[in-house]
């Protein structure tokens, strides 16, 4: 059987220009026909999941690995031409839905310029953002099942318990790591079958894994962006157990430690 095409998606933790990430180590560790890396800085879960599904329809035998981000980040779909032009002058540009589209999503991560700052102050609801993301995850899993696509869902951090605003200030407690408090007590999520989404997730995420194992996950310059060694340890000790059941291993992850240590040492000097 033809090796799958690996489709990875995530935010700046995945889309790192400074060091290899979990996506790098997966691609090197397993047999894939091709790698499609969709990851982009600043995006939220809506564009992350929808872009992954859209791309999966265009390739043969896709294998999707997505890393979800915190729920205090959100994507705006913008179809006002004047506003699109204005937002394209910002640090984060509008991400077009397709190559020919004039419209798209404005995703700014934890950076809140004027438009988003006003909305967050007056109208944003974290409870609704959690509810909406939960529905999107269900939709993603159902479409993968309907199309017989293999997939893995990862978390950047314990996203069902913490927000990125706190992580950017190095706030993360051990009791957060397996908590789902943003779901628990959320009246919008009352009655939902949370087990369908939560049961196969590693709730601490890659940042929580680092916290549990006394590895560096926070840096004064890069904030909550773990270095390459953390990514390798996470893949080897958490993710490989699942992927080994789905994919053909082509390399020993132990062979990558020299390179990961090199990048980690560079991070510690910055």
Q: What is the pLDDT of residues 164-175, one digit of tens each?
A: 999 999 999 999
Cβ atoms of residues 231 and 207 within 8 Å:
no
- Residue 154 backbone phi and psi in degrees, to 5: -110, 165
Mean pLDDT of 126-151: 96
Mean pLDDT of 217-245: 94
> Residue 40: its pLDDT value, please?
92
Cβ atoms of residues 261 and 229 within 8 Å:
yes
> Residue 46: its pLDDT value, please?
95
> Residue 191: its pLDDT value, please?
87
> Residue 267: its pLDDT value, please?
78
pLDDT reading at 16 higher than 80 = no
Cβ atoms of residues 216 and 230 within 8 Å:
yes
CA distance 258 to 260: 6
Mean pLDDT of 246-250: 93
Mean pLDDT of the chain: 92
Strand 104-107 versus strand 75-78 pairing type:
antiparallel
Question: 38 pLDDT band (50/70/90 cuts)?
Answer: very high
> Residue 98: its pLDDT value, please?
85
pLDDT reading at 270 higher than 90 = no
Chain centre to alpha carbon of residue 240? 18
Q: What is the pLDDT of residues 165-208, one digit of tens each?
A: 999 999 999 999 999 999 998 999 998 889 999 989 999 999 99
> Residue 35: its pLDDT value, please?
92
> Residue 50: its pLDDT value, please?
95
Mean pLDDT of 225-251: 95
pLDDT reading at 140 higher than 70 = yes
Q: What is the pLDDT of residues 85-125, one digit of tens each?
A: 998 998 888 999 888 899 999 888 877 887 788 888 898 99
> Residue 1: its pLDDT value, please?
60
> Residue 119: its pLDDT value, please?
83
Domain spans, the chain: 5-74+126-269, 75-123
pLDDT reading at 163 higher than 80 = yes
Per DSSP, what are the bridge partners of residue 63?
Answer: 6, 150
Instruction: Cite the DSSP H helix spans in the chain.
Output: 22-29, 45-56, 81-87, 114-122, 126-146, 164-167, 195-198, 205-212, 228-234, 240-243, 257-269
Cβ atoms of residues 37 and 8 within 8 Å:
yes
Q: Which fold has domain 5-74+126-269?
A: Rossmann fold (3.40.50)
Give the range with max mean pLDDT: 200-204, 222-226, 260-264. Answer: 200-204
């Amino acid at each position: 059987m033809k090796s799958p095409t690996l489709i990875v998606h995530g935010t700046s933790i995945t889309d790192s220009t400074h060091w290899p990430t979990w996506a790098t180590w997966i691609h090197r560790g397993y047999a894939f026909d091709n790698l499609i890396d969709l990851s982009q800085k600043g995006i939220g879960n809506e564009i992350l999941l929808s872009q992954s599904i859209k791309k999966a329809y265009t390739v043969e035998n896709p294998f999707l690995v997505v890393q979800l981000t915190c729920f205090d980040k959100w994507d705006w779909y913008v179809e006002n031409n004047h506003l699109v032009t204005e937002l394209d002058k910002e640090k984060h540009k509008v991400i077009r839905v397709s190559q020919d589209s004039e419209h798209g999503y404005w995703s700014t991560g934890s950076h809140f310029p004027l438009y988003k700052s006003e909305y967050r102050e007056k109208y944003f609801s974290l409870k609704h953002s959690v509810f909406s993301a939960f529905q999107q995850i269900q939709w993603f899993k159902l479409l993968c099942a309907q199309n017989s696509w293999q997939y893995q869902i990862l978390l950047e951090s314990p996203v069902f318990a913490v927000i990125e605003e706190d992580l950017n200030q190095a706030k993360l407690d051990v009791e957060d790591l397996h908590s789902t408090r943003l779901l628990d007590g959320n009246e919008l999520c009352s009655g939902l079958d949370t087990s369908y989404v939560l049961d196969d997730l590693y709730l601490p995420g890659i940042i929580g894994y680092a916290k549990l194992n006394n590895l560096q996950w926070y840096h004064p310059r890069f904030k909550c962006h773990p270095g390459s060694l953390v990514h390798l340890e996470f893949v080897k000790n958490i993710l490989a157990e699942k992927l080994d059941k789905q994919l053909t291993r082509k390399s020993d992850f132990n062979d990558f430690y020299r390179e990961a240590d090199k990048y980690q040492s560079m991070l510690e000097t910055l």
